């Protein structure tokens, strides 16, 4: 008898609470961000059942958007029984952000990249912008990314790049410098399964142009090479990071797999390449933050001087220089301790001590190359972060790395955003 009464009571409660409906979703506080966009990506809509867990899921999504600094909700009854208006209150970020990267070494190399990006184009949380780069030669790129173009889960990215640099090519224990140009057009489909898992799938059509400038020569190494290629790309990201202004805690894994098809397999063969970045962040006390990134990468082991993995200032080892070596596999560890030296309402100054270390497999070599002393590089160093807490990704960084392995260099690396 008691069991029957409990079932009747639960049935009654379910019936009563299921009658609570959303009359309307209203957006407040937004200026540039369109209300229609917020409603498009929200699961709460007019006529659905009022459910606080669904509302909180929407708010969490909104807080992850670069255009939003903070979001919260309110619920008010209407004149109609069991109907409620839901209000999403938005505090926006400033989203037109410049980007700057400058790097030097003790060989007096100097290069820079200047960019400008809008992270809330047309109030739809679309990213549009580009950069100009001077690295001996001039380069530029234009990027468009709309992760919610079609729905809450489905979007599109389009990228164009015309990149020209002076690249070293390594063979027979010698080095030659080439003028390298890569002109590419890329289109990607973006799919977000949930908050923690997302995928990218697409193609990139590009042309690589190598022109010999100076240095060593070899009859088997061409002095002029122009090859058209097609790249097929798959990206998978698992992201469980939690942000509190400049502090980060949690784990992130980013996997990138590519198949590159070449139209000149004899001189520049096609290959497979994949790498995974594992990132781990841990808070220590009120001001400390330990951050680490482990990159494991491997490619088809072609015996070619044009190997895909590079040793470079802006990619893996701070202070090492501008593309000083290449390989067909890589193991790189970046670890640093960040400590907030000054923390105000809108500004924070953060110092960091880091160690960047890595090793590479030589083109055509074997995995024993990772243990060879000439392939191992270790760069400890110190840095500063100037952080504007009210502007999205407004972190100006400066790092100085000093190599402690044989034939090492040292140098400054500047940039916008954390190194990783």
Contact 258, 232 (CB under 8 A): yes
pLDDT tens per residue, range 60-76: 889 889 898 889 999 99
pLDDT of residue 129: 97
Largest CA distance in the chain: 95
Tokens at 406, concatenated: 């044989």
pLDDT of residue 345: 87
Residue 99, pLDDT > 80, answer: yes
Contact 339, 288 (CB under 8 A): yes
Q: What is the dihedral of CA 211, 212, 213, 218, to 10 degrees?
A: 170
Q: Which residue has the higher pLDDT, 123 or 12?
A: 123
pLDDT of residue 6: 45
pTM of the full predicted structure? Answer: 0.80
For residue 376, name the pLDDT band (cuts at 50, 70, 90). Answer: very high
Residue 107, pLDDT > 70, answer: no
Burial class (CB in 10 A: 0-12, 13-18, 19+), 293: buried
Q: What is the mean pLDDT of residues 77-85?
A: 92
Q: What is the mean pLDDT of the chain?
A: 89
pLDDT of residue 309: 92
Q: What is the mean pLDDT of residues 255-260?
A: 96
Contact 179, 163 (CB under 8 A): no
Count of positions (residues) in the chain? 420
Tokens at 190, concatenated: 């973006």
Residue 17, pLDDT > 50, answer: no
Please report, rounded to a whole number, the percentage of residues in the chain having pLDDT higher than 70: 94
* Three-state secondary-structure class, residue 333: strand
For residue 317, name the pLDDT band (cuts at 50, 70, 90). Answer: very high
pLDDT of residue 372: 93
Of 11-25, 86-100, 299-313, 404-418, the one with minimum mean pLDDT is 11-25
pLDDT of residue 4: 52
Q: What is the mean pLDDT of residues 313-338?
A: 91
Cα–Cα distance, 211 to 217 (Å, whole number): 12
pLDDT tens per residue, range 349-370: 999 999 999 999 999 999 999 9
pLDDT of residue 407: 86
Q: Which residue has the higher pLDDT, 155 or 80?
A: 155
pLDDT tens per residue, range 175-219: 888 999 999 999 999 999 988 899 999 999 999 999 999 988 888
Cα–Cα distance, 25 to 332 (Å, whole number): 48
Q: What is the mean pLDDT of residues 69-95?
A: 92
pLDDT of residue 354: 98
250 Ramachandran zone, left/alpha/beta (phi>0; psi -120 to 50): left
For residue 7, name the pLDDT band (cuts at 50, 70, 90). Answer: very low
Cα–Cα distance, 156 to 268 (Å, whole number): 31
How far are the Cα atoms of 19, 264, 420 from residue 281, in angstroms, in the given order? 44, 43, 11
Residue 16, pLDDT > 80, answer: no
pLDDT of residue 335: 98
Tell me which DSSP letter residue 221 carries.
B
Cα–Cα distance, 352 to 29 (Å, whole number): 37
Tokens at 181, concatenated: 């140009």
Q: Where are the beta strands (DSSP E) in 344-394?
A: 347-361, 377-388
């Amino acid at each position: 008898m008691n069991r029957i009464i409990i079932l009747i009571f639960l049935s009654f409660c379910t019936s009563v609470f299921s009658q609570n409906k959303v009359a309307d979703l209203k957006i407040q506080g937004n200026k540039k961000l369109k209300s229609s966009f917020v409603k498009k990506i929200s699961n709460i809509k007019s006529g659905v059942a009022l459910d606080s867990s669904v509302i909180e899921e929407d708010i969490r999504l909104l807080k992850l958007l670069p255009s939003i600094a903070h979001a919260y909700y309110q619920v008010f009854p209407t004149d109609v029984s069991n109907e409620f208006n839901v209000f999403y209150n938005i505090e926006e970020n400033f989203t037109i952000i410049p980007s700057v990267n400058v790097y030097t070494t003790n060989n007096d190399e100097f290069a820079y990249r200047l960019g400008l990006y809008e992270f809330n184009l047309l109030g739809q949380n679309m990213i549009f912008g580009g950069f100009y780069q001077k690295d001996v030669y001039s380069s530029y790129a234009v990027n468009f990314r709309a992760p919610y173009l079609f729905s809450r889960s489905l979007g599109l990215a389009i990228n164009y790049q015309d990149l020209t640099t002076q690249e070293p090519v390594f063979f027979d224990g010698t080095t030659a410098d080439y003028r390298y140009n890569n002109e590419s057009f890329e289109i990607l489909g973006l799919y977000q399964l949930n908050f923690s898992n997302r995928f990218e799938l697409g193609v990139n059509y590009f042309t690589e142009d190598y022109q010999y400038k100076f240095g060593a020569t070899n009859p088997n190494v061409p002095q002029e090479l122009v090859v058209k290629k097609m790249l097929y790309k798959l990206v998978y990201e698992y992201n469980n990071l939690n942000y509190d202004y400049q502090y980060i805690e949690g784990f992130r894994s980013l996997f990138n797999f590519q198949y590159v098809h070449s139209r000149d397999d004899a001189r520049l063969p096609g290959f497979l390449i994949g790498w995974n970045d594992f990132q781990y962040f841990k808070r220590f006390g009120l001001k400390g933050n330990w951050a680490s990134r482990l990159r494991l990468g491997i490619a088809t082991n072609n015996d070619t001087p044009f190997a895909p993995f590079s040793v470079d200032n802006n990619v893996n080892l701070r202070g090492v220089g501008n593309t000083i070596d290449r390989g067909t596999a890589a193991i790189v560890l970046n670890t640093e301790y960040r400590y907030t030296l000054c923390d105000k309402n809108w500004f924070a100054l953060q110092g960091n001590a880091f160690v960047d270390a890595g090793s590479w497999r030589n083109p055509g070599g074997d995995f024993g190359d990772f243990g060879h002393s000439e392939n191992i590089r270790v760069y400890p160093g110190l840095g500063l972060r100037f952080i504007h807490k009210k502007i999205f990704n407004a972190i100006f960084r400066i790092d100085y790395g000093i190599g402690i392995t044989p034939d090492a260099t040292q140098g400054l690396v500047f940039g916008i955003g954390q190194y990783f």
